[in-house]
A and B are shown apart, each in its own frame.
Chain A
Amino acid sequence: MADFERVAVLGFGTMGAGIAQVVAMSGREVTVLEAGQDRIEAGSAALAGFLDGGVARGKMTESERDETLARIRSTTEPKELDGCDLVIEAVSERFEVKRELFGAVAAVIGDDALIVTNTSALSVTALAASVPGPGRFAGLHFFNPAPLMRVVEVVRALQTEPEVIERLTEFVVALGKEPVVVKDRPGFLVNYLLMPYLNDVVTELDNELASAEDIDTALRLGLGYKLGPLELLDLIGLDVHEHATQSAYDATLDPRFAPPPLLRQMVAAGYHGDKNGMGFRNRQDGTR
């Protein structure tokens, strides 16, 4: 019998919707918990839209889409999560918000149900300390967009039981993804490597090494990257990257993680990247 037959996803934002889709597509029942009906509707619409896109591109059949949707239900009531054997948290990156939610959820689920966080910026160990039975807590870090990205980081907190890491690793394989078991370091593995590189690029752009377009072109054509670093930052969101790299800097005091001045200025100016049409590669005010 497959492990984790009933899965709860906390949060119906971009990551929550993507994770709910991935889990439901593996044949599991998914319950998504969100704070308000409006957010549930927005998340449901985004999820349905993503699946429709998959049907339109011939990646899935209409019946596969319908079966996936039928396995996902949503609620605003934590008590509806009773009976779930795995809880995946994907709410906003605020420690207090996550901590309170874990308390409410832990009160209704079984003592042996696992709780994992999709955080990319907070310490999994610190979050584990906020739940009763921290040995059942770990990180399960999906990349955006979750349905398309092949790798999932399985993050071992200091408290995580070895058997929990094994079960989660098998679960990731059952989702059709590649698990990478990593330590609970700021940025884990991928972002630990990525953030200093992106900060370095922003600094050199500010130092007028080349135009943003030429830096992206050089790294795409020279190294075969799908996206240049500045396009990637626009896609990630400059505010999101600033928050993540600031968190890593606070946790390490390693200057490679310090948000470069130009990044801070872009965020201060309201240039958040693709989501508002203003970033390194698509400044609409014509100044770059």
Chain B
Amino acid sequence: MSTPDRAEGNDVSTLERTVAVLGAGTMGTGIATVAVRAGHRAIIYDVDEANLSRGVESVRAFLDNGVRLGKLTPEQAQQASARIEASTDLNDLAPAEVVIEAIHEDLGAKQHLFGELDRIVGGQTLFHTNTSTLSVTAIASGSRRPERVVGTHYCNPAPLMKLVEVADGRHTAGWAHDATMEFLAGLGKTSVVTKDRPGFIVNRFLIPWENSCINALEAGLGSKESIDTAVTGALGHPMGPFALLDVVGLDIHQQVATRLYEQLRDPRFYPPPMVDRMVAAGDLGRKTGRGFYTYDDNRLFGS
């Protein structure tokens, strides 16, 4: 490569940029909220009109709530709200300098979108993927310029959680990594750098931890209450493993654990049989009113 790194680079740290977010689900709308709050223009893309309008509404609701809580002035919320756009047409993403992919965990769909966007956006546009269980390298291979693809894994809910895990693929260029770190700092996030390995850091350690707690419960080492009490009281975790699994959802835990197991072939990642039984019984956690515990209402934690 003859051009120096910085000349080829994409300075997205300070200026207001156009950010495209692919997918109007929980993570996509959360990330779009973060982007407009940081002063960027955000275009949310989704194939489904109804998803899209729900997504835009949820961004606005989050900003309004920020005003009620005194985190934003009404002017700031209004300006941020004005920076949010939505489209079902990929061609509308042409001005994007950063694309953040947050669609469902389907490798082929993610690869396809990046391949399509190659034709639409500029050559220096960063491609970020918010995948939690797929390989960044595999997703990047959908683009003819895999050097611009970086894994940026946000935590849910994205507007509240400061952590982003950054993972380069095999072909990620130094300029793309550096520009990504600057972009995330501009969003007010705390980035940690990890490798393109299944689960990155948080899920890499959380999944075996949760599985070991489920196995301990099944082995009679304690009750769900005593294990949750022991973990919060002795280790300072904000929630015990079973209260947390009920928030995450047993179906989600099963999916993430299974995907990590399929890649790592390490039995510590495989969801224990109790998880299958709970999913089969429809005891998915808070969202169904019953998981390890029963709930009078199905409000999600923190909402």
Mark A residues whose CB is within 8 Å of B.
143, 149-151, 153, 178, 180-183, 185, 189-190, 192-194, 196-197, 200-201, 204, 208-211, 214-215, 217-219, 221-227, 229, 256
A196 and B271 CA atoms in complex are apart in Å by 17
Q: Which residues of B contact A214 (CB under 8 A)?
A: 192-194, 201
Whether A225 lies near B201 (C-beta < 8 A) is: no
Q: Which residues of B contact A182 (CB under 8 A)?
A: 221-222, 226, 230
Whether A221 lies near B190 (C-beta < 8 A) is: yes
The range of chain B's interface size is 35 or more
Given contacts A180-B226, A196-B212, A197-B208, contact A221 B163 (CB under 8 A): yes
Q: Which residues of A contact B50 (CB under 8 A)?
A: none
Question: B238 contacts the other chain (Cβ, under 8 Å)?
Answer: yes
> Please, what's the 1-or-0 string for B228-263, where 1 marks a CB less than 8 Å from any CB in chain A?
011101111111000000000000000000000000
Q: Which residues of A contact B233 (CB under 8 A)?
A: 149-151, 178, 180
Whether A193 lies near B213 (C-beta < 8 A) is: yes
Whether B236 lies near A209 (C-beta < 8 A) is: no
Whether A222 lies near B155 (C-beta < 8 A) is: yes
Please provide the 6 A-B residue pairs with the shortest distance between their CB atoms, ordered closest to farther: A151-B233, A226-B236, A214-B192, A221-B163, A150-B233, A222-B202
Tell me, rounded to whole Å, the shortest Cβ–Cβ distance linking A200 to chain B.
6
A77 and B257 CA atoms in complex are apart in Å by 56
Q: Which residues of A contact B227 (CB under 8 A)?
A: 189, 193
Closest chain B residue, CB of each to CB of A150: B233
Given contacts A180-B229, A189-B226, A209-B201, contact A217 B163 (CB under 8 A): yes
Q: Which residues of B contact A256 (CB under 8 A)?
A: 268
A181 and B221 CA atoms in complex are apart in Å by 9
> Which residues of B from 49 to 86 have beta carbons under 8 Å from A?
none
| Residue among A153, A193, A215, A225 making CB contact with B236, cutoff 8 Å | A225
Tell me, rounded to whole Å, the shortest Cβ–Cβ distance linking A173 to chain B.
13
Whether A210 lies near B230 (C-beta < 8 A) is: no
Closest chain B residue, CB of each to CB of A214: B192
| Residue among A180, A189, A223 making CB contact with B237, cutoff 8 Å | A223
Q: Which residues of A contact B205 (CB under 8 A)?
A: 197, 200-201, 204, 219, 229
A104 and B213 CA atoms in complex are apart in Å by 40
Given contacts A189-B226, A193-B213, contact A222 B161 (CB under 8 A): yes
> Which residues of B from 195 to 222 have beta carbons under 8 Å from A?
195, 197, 200-202, 204-206, 208-209, 212-213, 216, 220-222
Question: A183-B221, A222-B165, A256-B268 given. 14 additional CB < 8 A pairs?
Answer: A151-B234, A153-B230, A178-B229, A180-B226, A180-B230, A182-B226, A190-B234, A204-B204, A217-B163, A221-B155, A222-B201, A223-B206, A225-B236, A227-B236
Tell me, rounded to whole Å, the shortest Cβ–Cβ distance linking B199 to chain A.
10
Please name 25 pairs of A and B residues whose Cβ atoms are closer than 8 Å in the assembled complex, sorted by A. Answer: A149-B233, A150-B233, A150-B234, A151-B229, A151-B234, A183-B221, A189-B216, A190-B231, A193-B216, A196-B212, A197-B208, A197-B209, A197-B212, A200-B205, A200-B268, A204-B205, A210-B193, A210-B194, A217-B190, A218-B194, A221-B161, A222-B206, A223-B206, A224-B237, A256-B268
Question: B162 contacts the other chain (Cβ, under 8 Å)?
Answer: yes
Whether B216 lies near A218 (C-beta < 8 A) is: no
A218 and B162 CA atoms in complex are apart in Å by 10
> Which residues of B from 116 to 158 have beta carbons under 8 Å from A?
155
Tell me, rounded to whole Å, the shortest Cβ–Cβ distance linking A273 to chain B.
17
Closest chain A residue, CB of each to CB of B208: A200
A190 and B202 CA atoms in complex are apart in Å by 20
A256 and B163 CA atoms in complex are apart in Å by 28
A181 and B225 CA atoms in complex are apart in Å by 11
A225 and B206 CA atoms in complex are apart in Å by 12
Whether B238 lies near A210 (C-beta < 8 A) is: no
A215 and B206 CA atoms in complex are apart in Å by 12
Tell me, rounded to whole Å, the shortest Cβ–Cβ distance linking A38 to chain B.
32
A1 and B225 CA atoms in complex are apart in Å by 30
A91 and B70 CA atoms in complex are apart in Å by 53
Tell me, rounded to whole Å, the shortest Cβ–Cβ distance linking B257 to chain A.
15
Q: Which residues of A contact B206 (CB under 8 A)?
A: 222-223
A114 and B101 CA atoms in complex are apart in Å by 62
Whether A194 lies near B193 (C-beta < 8 A) is: no
Most buried by B among A192, A194, A221: A221
A219 and B209 CA atoms in complex are apart in Å by 12
